[in-house]
A = this chain, B = another copy of it.
Amino acid sequence: MDPLSATFSALADPTRRAILARLALGQTNVTELAEPFDMSLPAISKHLKVLERAGLISRGREAQWRPCTLQAAPMQEVSGWLESYRKFWEASLDRLDLYLQNLKAEETGNDK
C-alpha cells in the first residue's frame, strides 16, 4: 500500500486516533494505552501494528514494556497533500460567507 493511503487508512479509525491523542501527551506502554478502551489487549496490539506500519508510531523496548512514541512525520505528508485543496474549501467558505451576508441583508431589507 502506498504511504499516503496507509496513513489515511490508519487515521480512519477513532480508536487509533484516540491512541495518537494519548501519545501526544507523551510516550507510554501498551497496557496503559489500552486502559481507556473496552477492548481486549490483542485488539489494541493490532491497532498499534497498523499505526506502526503507517509510521505514525515507533516502539522501543524497556524491560517487558514496549513504550510507544508518536511519530508525526506521515501527518505532514497528509498536510502537504491537503494543501493543494485549501483554496477550494476557502473558496466555499467565502461563498458561504457571501450567502450569509446576503441573507442578513435581505432580512434587514438592505438588499437590492
Q: Do B89 and A85 touch (CB < 8 A)? A: no
Q: Do B24 and A85 touch (CB < 8 A)? A: yes
Instruction: Select from chain B the residue with minimum beta-carbon distance to A23.
Output: B88
| Binding site secondary structure of chain A | helix
- Counting chain A residues whose Cβ lies within 8 A of the other chain, the interface size class is 20 to 34
A112 within 8 A of B: no
| CB-defined contacts of A72 to chain B, threshold 8 Å | 85-86, 88-89, 92
Q: Which of B14, B20, B71 contacts A2 (CB 8 A)?
A: B14
Shortest Cβ gap from A79 to chain B (Å): 5
Q: Which 10 A-B pairs have the closest CB atoms?
A: A72-B88, A8-B12, A9-B12, A72-B89, A76-B89, A8-B11, A72-B85, A75-B85, A5-B12, A79-B82
